[in-house]
Amino acid sequence: MDVDLGALRELGFPADTLNATDLERWIGEQFKFASSPVYVLEQRLGGPCGVLAAVQGQVLAQLLFEHADGGEMVLRNVESDEAEQALVEALAHILWNVRKSETDPAMVCVGNVADDDVHALECATLEETKTSVSEHLASEYMAAGGIMLFMYSLMLTRTPDQIRDDMDDASLGLTGQFGHCTQELMNLLLSGVAASQVHDGTVDMGGGMVLRGVPARPTIGYLSHLEALRYCEVGSFLKKPYLPIWVVGSDSHYTVLFGTDSTINEESPRQAALARAKRAFKEQDREENGFISVENLGEVLRALNLNLSDKQLSNLVGEVEVPGSQLVLWQDFWRKIKPIILPPSDWNCSSCTYLNDKNTDRCGMCDTRRKDDMLNDDGRDEDNDDPRTLDLTHVNGLISTRQGERQGPTITEFKLTILSKDLQAPSTHGLGNPIEETLHTRWPGSVFLWPNDEPASING
């Protein structure tokens, strides 16, 4: 299939944003694994780090959670052919995930980027996509121009029209100043949708203004230093992906964070219900004031699939409205709605495993308090007694040459201990350590143990 490269470049690499040098860096970049450790993708040139980081996350997902169960031991023993197969799987899964619908094919672009000699292979199944990528991996995707071929494949699979429909501003491109990956491109890689925002779902600001965020929980997540600086707030979908793998964004670079414990992001049914309630409330609380208008209460209930009669709704309004204000506070809403969306169930004691009746809050055998029920009236988790330590690894694929010596990629293994689930880390206004500030947006009450007391770098 012939490819309209002009249309793809207009969307992916706008001429009014990128200069010739920026574009050359993209054209010259490829998917290349380091000699050690062999599972790390190198970044030689500025610009494509966002794509490399997202693909790196998917490579780790394949190696750690799809075909193996040995955690970090698997990574220490990865052979180059295994890493390349994981790359095939990663690229294919990303392309398959960005399709407009389940009946649409994935498109795998092949050819010579430098000569603009590119055509596309139409793949009707995920297996066909893997086969097409595999057949051209070594000769094209792992050679100069490989990143561009993947970008073309990404845009052609989603289609330029659909990508522009995904965005808040259809006049923008997928790369910005200096050839940096935009949030739209990052969201496309992670969630399959080129949304412009990092919050959960779509927020109608009124007056025809709609802010489009991530539509659902992705496999790989995203954390941003910009949130630590109070420029944005990353939603729970990106903060708590299905796998414990995140792309970490700074103001100029993208790196990867991962853990090998698949339970890191697990939520109890009650925590999941709380997250749903917060999302529904927040859709109507557009300015995040902590309250909504009474007239919007019905929309919140509908978003939670709670179909109340007019009488029930009237009674609820009478219980949650701040008298005479026509306003509903989050705390009041949650206190009244919690028993409806969190029906009690029998529970096993975390200390002695005794099965207790659903209507009891303490174990009948050892008097231990029920831990799965510790969501108080403002939605905070009161179970803060037991610190938890996570073993995490940070990957910065950037390589450079300094004083004649090649440096990078950099792999940093460290420990993060969660002391309190509800402690909110204050902003240091950019004066603290960037990676610690960023990690505090996901685990606010945490401390870190770095090798040689040297935190990893999230900057280029």
Categorize the per-residue pLDDT at 66 as very low, low, confident or very high, splitting at 50, 70 and 90.
Answer: confident
Beta strands in 200-317 (DSSP E): 202-206, 209-212, 221-224, 245-249, 254-259, 291-293
Q: Residue 374 has what pLDDT?
A: 45
* Backbone φ and ψ of 173, nearest 5°: -110, -175
Q: What is the mean pLDDT of the chain?
A: 89
pLDDT tens across 141-152, in order? Answer: 999 999 999 999
pLDDT tens across 400-458, in order? Answer: 767 667 787 999 999 999 987 656 555 555 568 999 999 999 999 899 999 999 999 99
The answer to whether residue 176 scores a pLDDT higher than 70 is: yes
Higher pLDDT pick, 343 / 103: 103
Tokens standing for 158?
A: 């989603």
Which structural domains are found in the chain, ordered by start?
5-259 (no CATH), 269-343 (1.10.238.10)
The answer to whether residue 373 scores a pLDDT higher than 70 is: no
Categorize the per-residue pLDDT at 18 as very low, low, confident or very high, splitting at 50, 70 and 90.
Answer: confident
Q: Is 355 left (phi over 0), alpha (psi -120 to 50) or beta?
A: beta
Rounded percentage of the chain residues whose pLDDT exceeds 90: 65
- Mean pLDDT within 159-177: 95
- Taking the C-alpha atoms of residue 358 and residue 300, their distance in angstroms, rounded to an integer, is 27
Strands 321-322 and 327-329 turn out to be antiparallel
Tokens standing for 195?
A: 């949304």
Q: Is 366 an annotated catalytic residue?
A: no
Catalytic residue among 49, 109, 123, 181: 49
Q: Is 49 an annotated catalytic residue?
A: yes
Q: Residue 342 has what pLDDT?
A: 77
Higher pLDDT pick, 180 / 70: 180
pTM reported for the whole predicted model: 0.86
Sheet architecture: strand order including 321-322: 291-293, 327-329, 321-322
Beta strands in 152-300 (DSSP E): 202-206, 209-212, 221-224, 245-249, 254-259, 291-293
Contact 337, 277 (CB under 8 A): yes
- Mean pLDDT within 329-348: 84
Categorize the per-residue pLDDT at 240 as very low, low, confident or very high, splitting at 50, 70 and 90.
Answer: very high
Q: Residue 255 has what pLDDT?
A: 97
- Taking the C-alpha atoms of residue 286 and residue 292, their distance in angstroms, rounded to an integer, is 9
Categorize the per-residue pLDDT at 376 as very low, low, confident or very high, splitting at 50, 70 and 90.
Answer: low
Higher pLDDT pick, 148 / 343: 148
- Helix (H, G, I), strand (E, B), or coil: what is residue 362? strand
Categorize the per-residue pLDDT at 384 as very low, low, confident or very high, splitting at 50, 70 and 90.
Answer: very low
pLDDT tens across 194-226, in order? Answer: 999 999 998 887 788 889 999 999 999 999 999
Q: Residue 205 has what pLDDT?
A: 79
Q: Residue 259 has what pLDDT?
A: 96
Catalytic residue among 136, 253, 394, 440: 253
pLDDT tens across 280-334, in order? Answer: 998 888 778 899 999 999 999 999 998 888 888 888 999 999 998 999 999 999 9
